[in-house]
């Protein structure tokens, strides 16, 4: 199972929306994922150990995991394209 971290400085509601959308999209595409959300300013990447990170907001992570910008989950434009990119990076 792959782990995706959604890290955002915006509201918990928006973070939860992105987490649920990504999880549902990946499941529909047949990918088993664990999607977790965290505050972008407080999360410790070494504790989460994600395979991929989706950021909504500014980030300063030092990690070997791919980082994808998730602004689409704020605007709700292009969310499926971002999810396709996430899946492509994980498989």
Give 86's Cβ-side CA count (13 Å radius).
Answer: 36
Where helices occur in 1-91 by DSSP H, the ranges are: 12-28, 45-48, 72-75, 79-90
For residue 78, give both structure tokens.
Answer: 């292009």
Return the domain boundaries, the chain.
2-90
Alpha-carbon distance of 6 to 36, in angstroms, equals 6
Q: What is the pLDDT along the chain (91 residues), one digit of tens a residue?
A: 999 999 998 788 999 999 999 999 999 999 999 999 999 889 999 999 999 999 998 777 788 899 999 999 999 999 999 999 999 999 8
pTM of structure? 0.93
2-90: what fold? Answer: Rossmann fold (3.40.50)
Report pLDDT for 86: 97
Give 51's Cβ-side CA count (13 Å radius).
Answer: 14
């Amino acid at each position: 199972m792959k782990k995706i971290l959604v890290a955002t400085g915006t509201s918990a509601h928006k973070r939860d929306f992105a987490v649920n959308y990504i999880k549902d999209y990946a499941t529909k595409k047949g990918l088993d994922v664990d999607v977790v959300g965290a505050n972008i300013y407080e999360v410790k990447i070494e504790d989460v150990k994600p395979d991929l990170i989706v950021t909504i907001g500014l980030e300063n992570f030092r990690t070997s995991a791919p980082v994808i910008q998730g602004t689409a989950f704020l605007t709700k434009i292009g969310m499926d394209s971002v999810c396709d990119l996430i899946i492509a990076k994980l498989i």
